Chain A
Amino acid sequence: MVAVGQVKSGLRARTRFSRVTIYRIVALVVIIALWEGAGASGLFFRGVIPSSVFVTAALLRLLGDPVFWGHFGVTLFEIVTGFAIGSALGMLGGLGIGMNRYAGQVFEPVAEYLASTPKVVFLPILLILFGIGVGSKISLGAISCFFPLALSIAAAVRNINPMYLRVGQSLNLTLTQRVKMIYLPALTPAIATGLRLGFGIATVGCLMSEIKLSNKGLGHAAMQAYGRFDIPTMLALLIVIFATAALGNSLIGRLIRLPGPTNRRVTHVPR
């Protein structure tokens, strides 16, 4: 009986998967058709909406070009480093603000104002501090993802079921034990969401900084292509950037294993 159930649910899962895939392919075809239609309609400047054939050709040419891979490497390094620094500090800051009432009262309003400020206003300062190289990009990426992560972790800390903390208190746990055995596992879902959000924001921060002022990176390459009015190459670069961000996001989602039963792949068969 169990075996039959598993086969059935397996079949259902597979049919559902293929249906989703079909819809995705249809959506992609529709978008490409609209794009081609808009390009051919003559409503826009010639060349602003190049045929997807040209974009694909540009993409393939880029993928074979070592100069492109140089830019790609620089940007990837900036994003990953900025994200790592910003999210590590953001998590620590969020735990601090959330766990300590006074730290919360002092820093939270400030953090909230700063979180809603566009981080690009810091760019001139960062350029002076770190130069136009990777330093200013990494720091803007880090600052961008620090605030939303710190605020969402702090809110999640305050939402932890107080019973968990009382159990910890009644067992006389040390601060390290409380963080390791109660706060972190209780916060894992919030941390996972926060990190995925933070990765996207760090990516925006790094690229923003590259586009404004830089001599390397995908943002720089895209601006160069724009300057040459090489729209297919520019679009191909944007596709690469988009794919990188999406890939990073889903990679983080996969790497963080949520504790507890809801996330387990195999459901439990009761004995």
Chain B
Amino acid sequence: MSPSPALRISRVSKHFETGKGRVTAVDDVSLDIMQGEFISIIGPSGCGKSTLMNMVGGLLTEYDGDILLDGKKVSGCQPEIGMVFQEESTFPWRTALENVAFPLEAAGLTRDKRIARARDLLDLVGLSGFENHYPAELSGGMRQRIAIARTLAFEPRILLMDEPFAALDEQTRLLLGDKVVQIQNKLRQTTLLITHNISEAVQLSDRVLIMTFRPGRIKRVIEIDLPRPRSSEMMGSEAFGRYVAEIWQDLREEASKGLHDAEAAARQG
């Protein structure tokens, strides 16, 4: 008997009613995620990735189909699920340490406990020494690491990350990818990562999901059978390159559909 999945997404669809009519953002997506598995979702902009994540995270509650956490239907936000958002989300009025301690404060931990825990997490994301800095005094990559540490602080079993490194430059992104690999090796969390970046997806994932451009469906699932741990140095290897090429092949088609659409929309005004 195969073990039951930690998270089951079953025939989930989501439509938005807009002024210009009905938009299907996510169309009949099904996916089983096992405990400890790292899955990346990759697809062109506007294909419904964030919408899917918001449904799994419980921020969007009206949709068709079922999302099951350990076999139980998810309703609203769950303490087992932690989210890292695409947009900047650190609190500018809190120091790095206070930001990471935020969820612990909400959970009612004593001051000493939450500070000790927040220190550990800042250390984990490589930010020890910056405890008393405010977000405005740090770089974008550091702020995003604070956001990740803040989400890890309450030890969610399942981690959802929506393009957490999208706004960063390539070098920072590579280094952060290595950081995520280290954290993943340590915590073995079930993770759903949304990304634009093919090599990031190959480096981090057990499986990569490619989504179609509008309506967002699963086009293909690719198992990444590369030895772990995988640092950014292995990106030069031949096997790595093959996966990247394979994913790009599928993604290219969808991305160009997206481009045509955008051009058509621009021509219409």
Contact = CB atoms under 8 A, between A and B. Distances in A.
B93 A260 contact: yes
Q: Is the interface of A mostly helix, strand, loop or mixed?
A: helix
Contacts of A259: 93-94
Interface residues of B, number: 29
B106 interface: yes
Interface in B194-222: none
A171 B93 contact: no
Q: Is the interface of B mostly helix, strand, loop or mixed?
A: loop
B136 A261 contact: yes
Given A170-B77, A262-B136, A185 B93 contact: yes
A173 B104 CA distance: 11
A166 interface: yes
A6 interface: no
A103 B85 CA distance: 30
A172 B76 contact: yes
A164 interface: yes
A164 B136 contact: no
What's the interface size class on A, roughly? 20 to 34
A189 to B, nearest CB: 10
A260 B134 CA distance: 7
B89 A166 contact: yes
Contacts of B77: 169-172
A170 B59 contact: yes
A163 B85 contact: yes
B155 to A, nearest CB: 13
A186 interface: yes
Contacts of B82: 170
A56 to B, nearest CB: 46
Interface string A185-197: 1101000000000
A207 B133 CA distance: 46
Interface string A88-132: 000000000000000000000000000000000000000000000
Contacts of A172: 76-79
Contacts, number: 58
Interface in B85-106: 85, 87-89, 91-94, 102-103, 105-106
B106 A164 contact: no
Given A261-B136, A262-B136, A268-B137, A170 B83 contact: yes
Given A171-B103, A173-B106, A260-B92, A166 B133 contact: no
A261 B85 contact: no
B110 to A, nearest CB: 16
Contacts of A261: 133-134, 136-137
A268 B93 contact: no
Nearest to B103: A171
Interface in A147-194: 163-164, 166-167, 169-173, 177, 181-182, 185-186, 188
B19 interface: no
B136 A181 contact: no
A163 B172 CA distance: 23
Contacts of B85: 163, 166-167
A93 B137 CA distance: 34
B87 A181 contact: no
A267 to B, nearest CB: 9
B129 interface: yes
A174 to B, nearest CB: 8
Contact of B133 (A181, A185, A262, A268): A268
A271 interface: yes
Contacts of B129: 271
Nearest to A186: B93
B102 A164 contact: no
B57 interface: yes
Contacts of A171: 77, 102-103, 106, 154
A48 B43 CA distance: 79
Nearest to B151: A170
Contact of A164 (B58, B83, B91, B137): B91
Contact of B106 (A166, A177, A185, A268): A177
Contacts of A186: 91, 93
Contacts of B58: 170
15 contacts: A163-B85, A163-B89, A167-B89, A170-B82, A172-B76, A172-B77, A172-B79, A173-B106, A181-B102, A182-B91, A186-B91, A259-B94, A260-B92, A260-B136, A261-B137
